[in-house]
Chain A
Amino acid sequence: MDTKHCQVLIIGAGPGGYVCGIRAGQLGLDTIVLEESRPGGTCLNVGCIPSKALIHAADEFHRIAHGGRIGITAGQAKIDLVKTQDWKDGIVSGLTKGVEGLLKRAQTQLIRGRAQILDGKTVLAETPDGPLRITCDNLVVATGSRPTELPVVPFGKDVISSTEVLSLAELPNRLAIIGGGYIGLEIGTALAKLGTDVTIIEAAGRVLPQYDAALTKPVAARLREFGVTLHLGGKAKGRTKTGALVVEADGKDVTVTADKIMVTVGRAPNTRGFGLESLGLTMAGPHISVDEFCATSMRKVFAIGDVTGDPMLAHRAMAQGVVVAEHIAGQSSKWDKRAIPAVCFTDPEIVVVGDLPNEGNASTVFPFAANGRAMTMDRTDGFVRAVYDPRSELVLGLQAVGAGVSELAGEFGLAIEMCATLRDIADTIHAHPTLGETVQEVAHMGLGHALHI
């Protein structure tokens, strides 16, 4: 059997693994990234990127069909989903090839193969060319997560996860979505815009239950505009003989007929089936427990990304990958981030950075209805919100709901990470006319002297 040795072996080439690989290579560490499928992980292949492509296509379609208000009419809009998928696949393959190129440039080896951990420093890779034994000084587990299955409605022909929905060649007439989290809502909204009859079943009392009601209200309002049926407080119980979904809501059973049922009730970390259990690492529930260096309970075994728990977000995994690579290279890096931004590409979009309002802080809200740029985009729904310490005026959190607000995530993150006060933001000139002016305005508002409301 062929054997190889390296300083850093990374299992998984998702956003965490490949970024760790690039950074380790840049730092001169002899690094191998082992990936059983295409590089890029869930994010590039079946997550962030393809879903955003689909959402964009749906938005364009919807705009053409609903331009009348601003004087535009066109012929009957039509979508050829096969072509859309080709376009999307082009983006995905461009990006995954890009990742391969970036790893190469950093002189990090990407090896195709499934990993089997033999011990904390030895991995057996089942490569297309046969088994390969890789020993390493440092092991990084970046194996990601997969959609959680619902036992009463197991995955099958017409019960699918987001992965399958994103590669549908044909639009389903009726789609039932179990789980009103951000994945379910993003895809549900896109398909509704394309003409699918969408029903969403959410166990909590409102969609996106992890955020506050004020933030999610504009999204719920818009879903109703698109004709999406919401079963809040609903629980999927199983299926009838004819295949209809049985949902218990308000103590009554309701049947939902659909061509496809998409289950998006969360994601489970990939911690089994490749020998990880044999290491006996300390776990935090289903996730691998890590410290501020992303180190696990075993010496020189690290874990990054979704296997280390919530929030399961690509940018968190990437930041962890950088910390681990620099830590292995002997630098002083550690995880000391103040905030991890979260974005929902719903319609309108939601961006959340830092603390939500609570009894211990103060908050102010500035509506897009008072923003010129929002009016010119014909989207004045939503608001920007600043959460701050009333004594020191330190900004503790920034959130927004509105069309296109995902691009504000950068400013929000920077403000929190730099420990900005309301005054810092209020005294920064924000270009006119942009949506971002609302951020300056909300800071003025917190200081007691908003200018444009």
Chain B
Amino acid sequence: MNVLPIKLPDVGEGVTEAELVEWHVEVGQTVLEDDVIAAVMTDKATVEIPSLYEGKVVERNGEVGDLLAIGTALVRIETAADGVEDKPDPKPEQAAKPIPASTEKPSPSETTGARDRGAELEPPASPPGAARPPRAEGAPVLASPAVRARARQAGIDLRRVPGSGPAGRIKNDDLDAFIAQGPVPASSPARGKRQGVEEIKVVGMRRKIAERMALANDRIPHITVVEEADVSALEDLRAKMNEGRGDKPKLTVLPLISAALCRALVDHPQMNAHYDDDAGIVHRHAPVHIGIATMTDAGLTVPVLRHAEALGPFSAAAEIARLSQAARDGAAKRDELTGSTITITSLGPLGAIATTPIINHPEVAILGVNKMEIRPHWDGNGFVPRKKMNLSASFDHRVIDGWDAAVFVQKMKTLLETPALIFVEG
């Protein structure tokens, strides 16, 4: 019998450490070759680590949430297999298969553990019997007419009163006990005071998001400019472009905004940049790689529309659709999730009137797109209904002045209101 380690393999180019997000085995558990022993998370992808041997887990290193260096022994396995302690790490292509980030869930034991701790913090205030709902949802409430009348007079919903009589019948005594018990028991479905605290570990994707948001917000003094744009003409254009497309994918408004952004950046190249604040250098990028902030089940990700400046509206639309689907499925590749030079964030119909977007560090600008709606517009004679939309754009105030920010936003407004300008060479 040998005791052999399973080391954290190299899970991606340039990755030196990965976060342990889930254990699939316990110490003492027997595993087969290729059984998943743990899941780790790198920059954007979750990777399952398989066992290389058949045998019994004798040691487990690290807890969920720990950052582990590549090469760390995750577990040691007592096995009949041949092998040496320093067996070379398997190639990631063979050893590790990425799984969709969206399937990532805390293990059941972890959740129960958290709940138990929460319960210890604050024991239920009422006796255990009263804390349970008195009967199944929708089950009939059994009480004699006299008891029902008393309950009505006392303003008590009998559905909340446990019945101790035969077949769960609520007796007069049950009603007395319920009244004497005073205000609503802990777990009553209606307006009860609740007790307990649930601990939710901030791990994996959520931790990454937290770190990046904190970094951006700590380092970057944001200035946010909100402006209204009349997008009626843009919407008319979009409708025209979609006419006769048949089954082929239709344009959404986002590709047109991307196109407008690319056009605006021709005149305002300082917005399409990375600010390396440690080195004190601004890198202005010639290509426009637009990050598209996308909500997935696991949280916010930012797939990148590469070389947006070279894409026509329909090819941009197809690429955005592909990227966001890949991001939602957790199937986006690493290079599809990195390298953006400027970011667009849009919540669609939930897009509110204005937002204060946080810059995707180390970029220097982010364009927030608020919801489109019909608003009254004064045309000099009267109010007319127009399709309008607000833009909420944030800028790194260290390298972008308020004036420039305002001019840039005005440029975006002009482009969106007169969409023909988008397609005029700069």
**Residues in chain A within 8 A of chain B (CB atoms):** 332-334, 336, 389, 392-394, 417-419, 421, 423-424
Contact = CB atoms under 8 A, between A and B. Distances in A.
Contact of B166 (A332, A333, A393, A417): A393
A389 B144 contact: no
A332 B167 contact: no
Contacts of A417: 144-145
Interface in B267-298: none
Nearest to A394: B167
5 contacts: A389-B167, A393-B166, A417-B145, A419-B143, A419-B167
B261 to A, nearest CB: 53
A392 B167 contact: yes
B142 A394 contact: yes
A333 B165 CA distance: 24
Nearest to B152: A332
B149 A332 contact: yes
Contacts of B144: 417-419
B152 A423 contact: no
A419 B142 contact: yes
Nearest to B148: A336
A62 B148 CA distance: 46
B238 interface: no
Nearest to A336: B148
Contacts of A421: 166-167, 169
Contacts of B167: 389, 392-394, 419, 421
Contacts of A392: 166-168
Contacts of B381: none
Contacts of A333: 149, 152
A424 B152 contact: no
B82 to A, nearest CB: 61
B153 interface: yes
Contacts of A418: 144-145
B236 to A, nearest CB: 42
A332 B153 contact: yes
B285 to A, nearest CB: 64
Contacts of A334: 152
Size bracket, chain B contacts: 10 to 19
A392 B169 CA distance: 10
Interface string B34-55: 0000000000000000000000
A332 B153 CA distance: 6
Contacts of B155: 332
A417 B145 CA distance: 7
A418 B155 CA distance: 20
Most buried by B among A333, A336, A419: A419
Nearest to B158: A336
Given A336-B148, A394-B142, A419 B169 contact: yes
Nearest to A418: B144
Contacts of A393: 166-167
Contacts of B168: 392
Contacts of B152: 332-334, 336
Q: Nearest 8 pairs between A and B by C-beta?
A: A392-B167, A394-B167, A332-B152, A419-B142, A421-B166, A418-B144, A419-B169, A332-B153
Main secondary structure of the interface of B (DSSP, over half): helix
Given A418-B144, A419-B142, 18 more contacts: A332-B149, A332-B152, A332-B153, A334-B152, A336-B148, A392-B167, A392-B168, A394-B166, A394-B169, A417-B144, A418-B145, A419-B143, A419-B165, A419-B167, A419-B169, A421-B167, A421-B169, A423-B166
A417 B147 CA distance: 11
A16 to B, nearest CB: 20
A418 B148 CA distance: 10
Contacts of B143: 419
A424 B149 CA distance: 22
Interface string B179-223: 000000000000000000000000000000000000000000000
B168 to A, nearest CB: 7
Interface in B126-180: 142-145, 148-149, 152-153, 155, 165-169
A173 B405 CA distance: 102
Contacts of B169: 394, 419, 421
Nearest to B146: A418
B212 to A, nearest CB: 54
Contacts of B148: 336
A389 B168 CA distance: 12
A23 to B, nearest CB: 15
A333 B145 CA distance: 11
Contacts of A389: 167
A447 B145 CA distance: 25
A336 B148 CA distance: 8
A336 B166 CA distance: 20
Contacts of B149: 332-333
Contacts of A336: 148, 152
Nearest to A333: B152
Interface in B7-59: none
Contacts of A423: 166
Nearest to A388: B167
Nearest to A423: B166
A412 B149 CA distance: 20
Interface in B300-348: none
Contacts of A424: 166
A392 B143 CA distance: 14
A334 B151 CA distance: 12
A108 to B, nearest CB: 24
A336 B146 CA distance: 12
A190 B106 CA distance: 75
A386 to B, nearest CB: 14
Nearest to B144: A418
B154 to A, nearest CB: 9
A417 B148 CA distance: 10
A437 to B, nearest CB: 22
Nearest to B143: A419
Most buried by B among A389, A392, A423: A392
A5 to B, nearest CB: 30
A421 B155 CA distance: 27
A361 to B, nearest CB: 12
Contacts of B153: 332
A378 to B, nearest CB: 38
A335 to B, nearest CB: 11
A303 B231 CA distance: 54
Nearest to B153: A332
Contacts of B145: 417-418
A94 B168 CA distance: 46
Contacts of B166: 392-394, 421, 423-424
A394 B167 CA distance: 6
Contacts of B142: 394, 419
Nearest to B155: A332
B142 to A, nearest CB: 4
B378 to A, nearest CB: 39
A423 B165 CA distance: 12
A424 B166 CA distance: 9
A367 B166 CA distance: 27
A334 B149 CA distance: 9
A419 B165 CA distance: 10
A117 B155 CA distance: 35
Nearest to A334: B152
A413 to B, nearest CB: 10
A334 B145 CA distance: 11
